[in-house]
Amino acid sequence: MYDDHYGLQGRPFQLTPDPRFWFDTATHRKAMAYLGYGLSQGEGFVVITGDPGAGKTTLMGHLLSQIDPEQLNVIKIVSTQLSPQDLLRLVAAGLDIDAGNASKASMLAAIERGLHAVARSGRRTLLVVDEAQALPFETLEELRMLSNFQAGGYPLLQIFLLGQPEFRLTLQDPRLEQLRQRVIAMHHLAPMDADEVEPYLIHRLSCVGWRGKPRFTNDAVAMMYRWSGGSPRRLNQLASRVLLFGAVEGIETFGGEEVANVIADLDGDTPESTLRPRAAPQPVAPAPAEEPLELNDVLPRAIGSPAPVHAGEPRPLGTPAPSPAPAPAATVDEVALNRRIAELETHLKTQDEALRRVLTLLVDWVEAGESGKRPDIAALRGNAA
Side-chain half-sphere exposure of 354, counting CA atoms within 13 A: 16
Q: What is the per-residue pLDDT across 154-179, written as a single tens digit (0 to 9) for each?
A: 899 999 999 999 999 999 999 999 99
Q: Are 23-189 and 194-270 in the same CATH fold?
A: no
pLDDT score of 380: 47
Strand-pair category, 45-50 with 157-163: parallel
Residue count of the chain: 385
Residue 303 is predicted with a pLDDT of 35
What's 195's DSSP letter? Answer: G
The residues near 27 (Cβ < 8 Å, ≥ 6 apart) are: 187, 189, 190, 191, 192
* E runs forming strands in 112-252: 124-130, 150-151, 154-155, 157-163, 183-189, 215-216
Nearest to 28 by CA among 176, 196, 179: 196
Q: Spell out the per-residue pLDDT of the chain, length 385, in tens.
A: 677 788 898 899 998 888 889 999 999 999 999 999 999 999 999 999 999 999 999 999 999 988 888 889 999 998 778 999 999 999 999 999 998 889 999 999 999 999 999 999 999 999 999 999 999 999 999 999 999 999 888 899 999 999 999 999 999 999 999 999 999 999 999 999 999 999 999 999 999 999 888 999 999 999 999 999 999 999 999 999 999 999 999 999 999 999 999 999 998 876 553 343 434 334 434 434 333 333 333 333 333 344 444 444 433 334 444 444 554 554 556 666 667 677 766 666 666 666 666 556 665 655 665 455 555 555 444 444 4
Collapsing DSSP states into helix, strand and coil, what is residue 311?
Answer: coil
Amino acid at 139: T
Q: Reduce the DSSP state of residue 125 to 3 states and report it.
A: strand
CA pair distance 39, 154, nearest whole angstrom: 14
Residue 305 neighbours by CB under 8 Å, 6+ apart = 324
Q: How far apart are CA 106 and CA 113, in angstroms?
A: 11
- From residue 134, alpha-carbon distances to 83, 122, 189, 271 in Å are 11, 33, 18, 28
3-state DSSP call for residue 118? Answer: helix
User: 194-270: which CATH topology?
Assistant: Helicase, Ruva Protein; domain 3 (1.10.8)
218-228 and 197-206 helices cross at what angle (nearest 10)? 100
Check: CB of residue 172 under 8 Å from CB of residue 366: yes
Taking the model in full, what pTM does it have?
0.67
In whole angstroms, what is the distance from residue 37 CA to residue 160 CA?
A: 12
- The topology under which CATH files domain 23-189 is Rossmann fold (3.40.50)
What pLDDT does residue 327 have?
Answer: 47
pLDDT at site 376: 54
**Helix (H), strand (E) at residue 74:** strand 72-78
Q: At what angle do helices 137-146 and 84-94 cross, to 10 degrees?
A: 40
253: left (phi over 0), alpha (psi -120 to 50) or beta: beta
Cα four-point dihedral sign 35, 37, 40, 46: negative
- Residue ranges covered by each domain of the chain: 23-189, 194-270, 332-384
Residue 113 is predicted with a pLDDT of 95
